[in-house]
Amino acid sequence: MNAIILLGAPGSGKGTQAMRLAESLGLPHISTGVILRQAVADGTELGKVARDIMAAGRLVSDEIVLGIVDERIAAPDCGRGFILDGYPRNQAQARALAGVLSKRGATEWIANIDVPPEELTARVRGRRGTDGRQDDSEEAFCRRLEVYESESLPLLDYYGNRAVNISGLGSRDDVFGRLCAALPFAAARLVTPKLVAQ
Ligand code: ADP
């Protein structure tokens, strides 16, 4: 079982890349943000707890997100592996994940999509209003960036050389090409004429 973990700031494009990778590899894309937004839209108990925290750009509790991930990766479609997008977001989550993955005998592949903060801000200003995310307001986005810097960025030290770092600048195809080249497991399955040509 292969657990592909994508790290990156809000606005780094990790959600887009995670979707493409999932599609190419035929593995499920697990985004804790998507699951939480769906729970909010459905008005479930989880959604009621998560709604205000998400709108403010803060993190939902480690216990809740671990529960979500643990349950999701137990599903039969995750048997060969899965792509994790938005989890882990701090060291406590990374440690909990390591426990869950070793219990299942999963191999971790970790890639960080690196985008400088000024570019992140510019991107989110550009998309604001187009996809209508409540947490893309100026204030909530700044908070998400702060939370990313204080909680999630230290994950790079935590994973050390187990995480490959790739630049998130350039077109989506550029970034996807780099990602595939950086993940040997993925690259082996993704050698398409297009990527070879690049
Ligand atoms: P982005 O990466 O663009 O900030 P996500 O869709 O990954 O957005 O997450 C949106 C929000 O959902 C986060 O700001 C946070 O409130 C909540 N969330 C998602 N994943 C986690 C997580 N692993 N731990 C805590 N909160 C999370």
Q: What is the mean pLDDT of each run of 10 residues along the chain (198 residues)?
A: 95 96 94 98 97 96 97 95 97 97 93 95 79 79 95 97 96 95 68 41
- Bridge partner residues of 30 (DSSP): 84
The residue whose CB lies within 8 Å of the most ligand 1 atoms, and thus the one to mutate among 89, 143, 150, is 89
Report pLDDT for 195.
Answer: 43
> Ligand 1 atom closest to Cα of 93?
23
Q: For 157-197, how does the pLDDT look when each residue is reduced to its tens digit (9 = 90+)?
A: 999 999 999 999 999 999 999 999 898 766 555 444 344 43
CB 13 within 8 A of CB 112: no
CA distance 198 to 183: 16
- Strand-pairing partners, residue 114, are 167
Asked, as a colleague might, if the bond just before 76 is cis with ω within 30 of 0, I would say: no
Candidate list 48, 95, 127, 172, residue with the active-site label: 127
Q: Ligand 1, closest atom to CA 58? A: 16
Pocket mutation for ligand 1, best pick of 7, 54, 146 (most atoms within 8 Å of C-beta) = 54
Mark whether 178 is an active-site residue. Answer: no
Edge-to-edge strand ranges of the sheet holding 29-31: 29-31, 81-85, 2-8, 107-114, 163-167
Q: Write the single-letter amino acid at 123.
A: R
pLDDT of residue 129: 63
- Among candidate residues 37, 51, 133, 178, the one labeled active-site is 133
Q: Ligand 1 pocket: which of 12, 60, 121 to mutate (most atoms <8 Å of CB)?
A: 60
Beta strands 107-114; 29-31: pairing state: unpaired
The per-residue pLDDT for 125 is: 83
Q: What is the pTM of this model?
A: 0.91
Closest among 10, 114, 108, 120 to 59, alpha carbons compared: 10
133 is catalytic: yes
Cβ 81 under 6 angstroms from ligand 1: no
- Kindly state if the Cβ of 59 falls inside 6 Å of ligand 1: yes
Q: Is 89 annotated in the active site?
A: yes
Atom 23 (ligand 1): residue with closest C-alpha? Answer: 87
Residue 185: predicted pLDDT: 65
pLDDT at 187: 55
The residue whose CA has the least distance to atom 2 of ligand 1 is 10
